[in-house]
Every structure is written in structure tokens, then in C-alpha cells.
Chain A
Amino acid sequence: MLRDPRMRQVMAACITLGFAVGVFAISFGVAAVGAGASVAQACAMSLLVFTGASQFSAVSVLASGGTAASAFGGAALLAARNGVYGLAMSRHLDGSLAKRLVAAQIVLDESTAMAAAQDDPAHRRAAFWVTGISVYVFWNTGTLVGALLGTAIDPRTYGLDAAIPAAFVGILFPMLRERMPRRAAIAGAVVCLALIPFTPVGVPILCATVGVLFGVPTPSPDQGTEAVAA
């Protein structure tokens, strides 16, 4: 498998992304401890919740004095998009129920994006697993480092908060070459931006899913009802 130069390239990109997420995870460790979590709790969140956006949202609500219920609400809404990713990925991941229950834990922004960027099924599956596992390893390592550092550093000084959107820009760009994904991406971004000031945290990204309707070819009149029902 690794004799295939294309596969090597894909693996390298997947591991690179995992590493970048790991560096970003340091800022989660710092934020969690700052919000009153113990080092063990910060690490348990990364091991078990393993949904970066939810974890960040939860600790930031708690840090600003929010109740556990409101922290949970926003975090759960952010986690809901992994359900949508799972649905998109299910066609590409086969295997036993046990294998898919393991795969479920690594259904993330990163693994889905990397898989979607590949052209054929073998590369897609490999990209999903390698990205998921490398993000898992690096995310948890980074969390531990950040939790131990505590508030000794400010991650923003190093631009770590820009590292993740920058990485996603890198993954998104090749997808924009085709017309349909480009339209879906533009619509998703516009919907998200428009909703940020008016809806609770988590809702704008979830609602960006409607962007796919702008990417699907306009149905002919006899298919119209089918498209609406879908």
C-alpha cells in the first residue's frame, strides 16, 4: 500500500493535519484548566468527548460563569454535526458493526474533510482512518501538555487559534475546483455567517448543511417534488 506514491502523499497530509490539531489541543488543555477542570478531567474530555469544538465551547461557557446546562446545550449542538458527517461517511466505511462503532469515535471535521478530498474509495477509507487515529493521538497528547502548562502560556500569541481554520482552508481549496461543491461551500459559509449573531453557538454550522441544496443540480420539473422531499 505504501509503495503507491499517491497513498504516501495522502498519509503524509493526514498525519500533518493530526499534528496541527495536536498543537491546537495545547490551547484546549490551557483553556480547560483555566475553566476549573483538573488535569485528569481535561484529559478525560479529550479521550471520551473527542470533539474539539464541543470541548472548547463547554469550557468557555463554564469559564465565563455559565451553568452546566447551558455549557452542555452549546456543546451538544456542536457535536450534532458529527451525526451529519457520519451520514456522509457511512457510504464509504464498511465492515463489522464493532469496526464501525470504533470508526464512529473518529468521525470528525478533520477525518471527514480528508476523506472527502480523495478521489477513489481506497484512498478515502485510508484517509479517514489515518486522519482519525492521528488526530486522536495528537489531540490527547496536546491536551495533556496544555493542561500541565496551565495558564503559563497564551496560545493566541503563537496564532494557534488561526491554525485550524488555516488547515481547513487548505483542505477545502481542492474541493472548490468543481462547480457543485463550490456552490455548496459558498452557500454553507454565507448561511453560517448570517446566523452567527442571531443563534446560539453551534447552530450556525449545523444550519450550513442546507448549503448542499445549492450544490445539487437544479431538478427538472418532474423531479421537483422528490428534491424538495429529500
Chain B
Amino acid sequence: MSWTFVFVLAGSAYFFKVLGLVVIGDRELPPVLSRCLALIPAALIAAIVVHDTFSAGQELVLDARAAGVGAAAIAAWRKVPLIGIILIGAGVAALVRAVS
């Protein structure tokens, strides 16, 4: 890995953050767009959950992660505190890997 690669990637990652937060974000937005923006976290976080649970590169897979995240969902539904949800998720995934 080259240092140029590290710096170019760092620059582009920061570019997107500043673009959204500072450059575009400063403008007054129409109400419809504001309502859409408020829903972005729910839509993207849900996408990340299914992505990180069921994907391996461009493939859809069903492995120990699904068991871990499923257990975490039950814990979240039962109102377990965040740290418990994380430990249950990791623990169940580790357990399923260990026995399979």
C-alpha cells in the first residue's frame, strides 16, 4: 500500500463529509426535502444492518453473523441496553462459529 493511496483516500473521504455538512448543508431547503433528510438515518442505518449481516463483497450469504444480529434484534426488542445488545450479537455469532 502506498502513502499516496492513504492520502488520496483521506482527502476524498473528508471531501464528502464537508460537501454535505458545510457546502450544501448551509442552504435553506424546501420543507419536502427537509422531511426527507430527517428520514435518511433510518433508511441508511437499516441498509447498513442488512449489508453488514448478509453480504460478503457482492455475494449474499447466510452465516453466523445472521444468528448474532437476529439475537441482537430480539435483545433490542426486549429493551436490553446497547452494550448488552452488542455483546449478545458478537457472542451468539462467535458461538455459532465455534459449534459449526
Q: Which residues of A contact B (CB under 8 A)?
A: 13, 16-17, 19-20, 32, 35-38, 41, 44-45, 48-51, 53-54, 58-60, 62, 68, 71-72, 75-76, 79-91, 93, 97, 100-101, 103-105, 107, 109, 112-113, 115-116, 156-173, 175-176, 180-182, 184-189, 191-193, 196-201, 204-205, 208-213, 215-217, 219, 223, 226-227, 230
Residues on B with beta carbons closer than 8 Å to the beta carbon of A172: 42, 45-46, 49, 76
A216:B49 contact, CB within 8 angstroms: no
Check A159 against B89 for contact (C-beta < 8 Å). Answer: yes
Are A81's CB and B44's CB within 8 A?
yes
Interface residue SS majority, chain B: helix
Nearest chain A residue, comparing its CB with the CB of B53: A165
Tell me whether B43 and A230 are in contact (CB under 8 A): no
Binding site for A on B (CB under 8 A): 1-3, 5-10, 12-14, 16-22, 24-26, 30, 32-55, 57-60, 64-65, 68-69, 72-73, 75-77, 80-83, 85-86, 88-95, 97-98
Please provide the 3 A-B residue pairs with the shortest distance between their CB atoms, ordered closest to farther: A166-B89, A90-B25, A86-B20
Main secondary structure of the interface of A (DSSP, over half): helix
Does the CB pair A169–B1 fall under 8 Å?
A: no
